[in-house]
Structure 1
Amino acid sequence: MDRIVKIASQKAVVIFSKSSCCMCHAIKRLFYEQGVSPAIHELDEDSRGREMEWALMRLGCNPSVPAVFIGGKFVGSANTVMTLHLNGTLKKMLREAGALWL
């Protein structure tokens, strides 16, 4: 859990992902299209990825990926992020975290 917190606080937007996950790809693309350059941490490419995956699930992320952190705070997985995007809240959160300036 400490490693997740440390990684999540290193950039305004951090996405824990798996390179083979289609929903992860969709969420990463959503952020890129918003003009945000998130830090992407691929769990399937990390030797401790399985351990971090369990920690994300304990945070309430089910499925474990994609797990999105904005401003160092856990936001949620794909459903939550898409809901925030559709209701306009995501852009506000990104501005407040310093990930978006417009």
Structure 2
Amino acid sequence: MEKVVKLASENGVLIFSKSTCCLCYAVQILFQELGVHPHVHEIDHDPEGKEIEKALMRMGCNGPVPAVFIAGKLVGSTNEVMSLHLSGALIPLLKPYQQHNLS
């Protein structure tokens, strides 16, 4: 849990991911298209991956990955991110982290 909180606080936009997860990839591409380059932490390449997975579940993720944090706060998984995007609430959250302005 400590590692999750530390990584989330050190990175403006953080995605806990697995290298084989297509939903994780889809969320990463969405963020890149919105001009944000999130820090991606592949838990299947982390020796503490199982502990991170358990910590994410305890924090309220309905699936362990993708787990998206923005400004140190857990946003959620794919469903929450897509809901925020469709409602127009995602871009204001990402604005401080955008690399370029969208027209």
**TM norm structure 1:** 0.94
Name the CA distance, whole Å, in 2 between partners of 1:10 and 1:73: 11
Percent identity between the aligned chains? Answer: 55
- Does residue 4 of structure 2 align to residue 4 of structure 1? yes
Name the CA distance, whole Å, in 2 between partners of 1:12 and 1:99: 7
> Between Structure 1 and Structure 2, how many residues are aligned?
100
Structure 2 residue ranges without an equivalent (≥5) = none
Q: Which runs of 4+ in 1 moved over 4 A?
A: none
Name the CA distance, whole Å, in 2 between partners of 1:13 and 1:26: 15
Residues 10-54 of structure 1: CA deviation (Å, up to 9, x unaligned): 121000000000100100110011010100000000000010000
Q: CA RMSD in A?
A: 0.9
Structure 1 residue ranges without an equivalent (≥5) = none
Name the CA distance, whole Å, in 2 between partners of 1:27 and 1:9: 20
How far off is 1:6 after superposition? 0.3
**TM norm structure 2:** 0.93
1:91-102 to 2 correspondence within 5 Å? Answer: 91-95=91-95, 98-100=96-98, 102=101
1:1-102 to 2 correspondence within 5 Å? Answer: 1-95=1-95, 98-100=96-98, 102=101
How far off is 1:62 after superposition? 1.6
